């Protein structure tokens, strides 16, 4: 089994339900996307969210994926930067409890927060104050962080620091690791298009994208055409298509499509993509075929969208682990 390292923005998710888009419009947040906010806006949003009964959990795209991998039975490693504060201690203790090998950098800044606004139909929009996470720098990335790992998974949200992202990719490739990238959000892909093309062509082996992100990268509306476009840039491309399931393609290979199941009770799509990546990578790390990787990715994403936040019950994890064993044995 491949040993997985995740590097990302270490954040605490604070989630609330919203009945309309007024708070998104007020703070100029991208609907269905991620918007970086400053400390002043974060303070205002924090006060406004108190009346909406917020729920708190550890977050960050890569952090969510590593948590799901740990719950499946893998023993991932995670690198991130947190503050020496209450939220930072919460993040660290939760990761330890889940069985993640944490290599966290601590500082005196506030731990980053992802304010998550969930619509009545499950769509989520983020107002993210990176806080301490923003301070993760290229010089913080050392070769010892990659020890005993075979694959590194990173999030597109790290693109706020091009030097950092390239340092991770260069170090991983020099050490012979597989590089996996989740594009993160359509708007950051569009705003950093040339850079994403550069790192994907030169360093990345697996690319995860939803339909909007695939279109932003490729300039093509059709999901199949976008998949083919991305597969020409890297070794393996994966496009998540929501209710239609997901598709994947090796460079020069055939397109594989696995349909989704009909989910009647979609509550919150937060972390759906992160859990998909975790399921896919768990199967991939066990040398499974693309169809099996897609299957487990879809299964995990369908589990998480039926609960609020980024955590599943013990019973749900028992079911997911059982299903993973079943499909990996076939």
DSSP output for 96-130: HHHT-EEEEEEESSPPEEEEEEE-TTS-EEEEEE-
pTM here is 0.90
pLDDT, tens digit, for every residue of 34-44?
898 998 999 99
For β-strands 246-250 and 236-240, DSSP reports them as antiparallel
- Residue ranges per domain, the chain? 4-329
Mean pLDDT of 224-252: 96
- 4-329, CATH topology level: 3.40.1190
Determine the Cα–Cα distance for residues 26 and 13; give it in Å rounded to an integer: 20
Can you read off the two tokens belonging to residue 308?
A: 């609020």
With cut-offs at 50, 70 and 90, classify the pLDDT of residue 152: very high
pLDDT, tens digit, for every residue of 263-311?
888 887 888 999 999 999 999 999 999 999 999 999 999 999 998 778 8
Is 80 exceeded by the pLDDT of residue 4?
Answer: yes
Mean pLDDT of 188-215: 97
Is 80 exceeded by the pLDDT of residue 122?
Answer: no
Q: How many CB atoms lie within 10 A of CB 59?
A: 29
Per-residue pLDDT, 228: 97
With cut-offs at 50, 70 and 90, classify the pLDDT of residue 320: very high
With cut-offs at 50, 70 and 90, classify the pLDDT of residue 180: very high
Determine the Cα–Cα distance for residues 243 and 183; give it in Å rounded to an integer: 19
With cut-offs at 50, 70 and 90, classify the pLDDT of residue 51: confident
Q: How many CB atoms lie within 10 A of CB 43?
A: 12
Is 90 exceeded by the pLDDT of residue 81?
Answer: yes
Residue 162 belongs to what H/E stretch?
A: helix 162-174
Q: Give the strands of the sheet with 124-129, arranged side by side.
A: 34-36, 124-129, 112-118, 11-17, 55-59
In sequence order, the 6+-apart residues with CB closer than 8 A to the CB of 104 are 10, 78, 79, 80, 81, 82, 91, 92, 95
């Amino acid at each position: 089994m491949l040993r997985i390292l995740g590097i990302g923005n270490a954040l605490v998710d604070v989630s609330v339900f919203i009945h309309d888009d007024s708070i998104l419009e007020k703070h100029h947040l991208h609907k269905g996307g991620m918007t970086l906010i400053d400390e002043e806006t974060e303070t205002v949003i924090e006060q406004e969210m108190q009346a909406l009964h917020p729920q708190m959990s550890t977050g960050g795209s890569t952090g969510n994926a590593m948590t799901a991998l740990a719950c499946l039975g893998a023993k991932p490693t995670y690198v991130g930067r947190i503050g020496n504060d209450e939220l930072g201690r919460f993040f660290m203790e939760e990761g330890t409890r889940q069985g993640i090998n944490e290599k966290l950098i601590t500082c005196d800044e506030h731990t980053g927060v992802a304010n998550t606004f969930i619509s009545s139909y499950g769509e989520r929009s983020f107002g993210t104050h990176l806080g301490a996470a923003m301070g993760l720098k290229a010089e913080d990335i050392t070769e010892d962080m990659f020890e005993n790992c075979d694959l590194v998974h990173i999030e597109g949200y790290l693109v706020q620091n091009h030097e950092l992202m390239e340092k991770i990719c260069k170090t991983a490739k020099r050490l012979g690791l597989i590089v996996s990238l989740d594009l993160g959000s359509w708007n950051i892909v569009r705003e950093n298009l040339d850079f994403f093309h550069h790192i994907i062509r030169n360093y990345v082996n697996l690319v995860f994208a939803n339909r909007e992100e695939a279109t932003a990268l490729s300039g093509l509306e059709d999901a199949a055409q976008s998949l083919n476009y991305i597969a020409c840039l890297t070794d393996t491309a994966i496009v998540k298509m929501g209710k239609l399931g997901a598709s994947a393609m090796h460079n020069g290979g055939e397109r594989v499509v696995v349909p989704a199941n009909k989910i009647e009770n979609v509550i919150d799509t937060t972390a759906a993509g992160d859990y998909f990546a975790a399921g896919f990578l768990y199967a991939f790390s066990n040398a499974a075929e693309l169809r099996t990787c897609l299957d487990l990715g879809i299964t995990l994403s369908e589990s998480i969208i039926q609960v609020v936040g980024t955590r599943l019950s013990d019973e749900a994890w028992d079911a997911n682990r059982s299903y993973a064993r079943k499909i990996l044995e076939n």
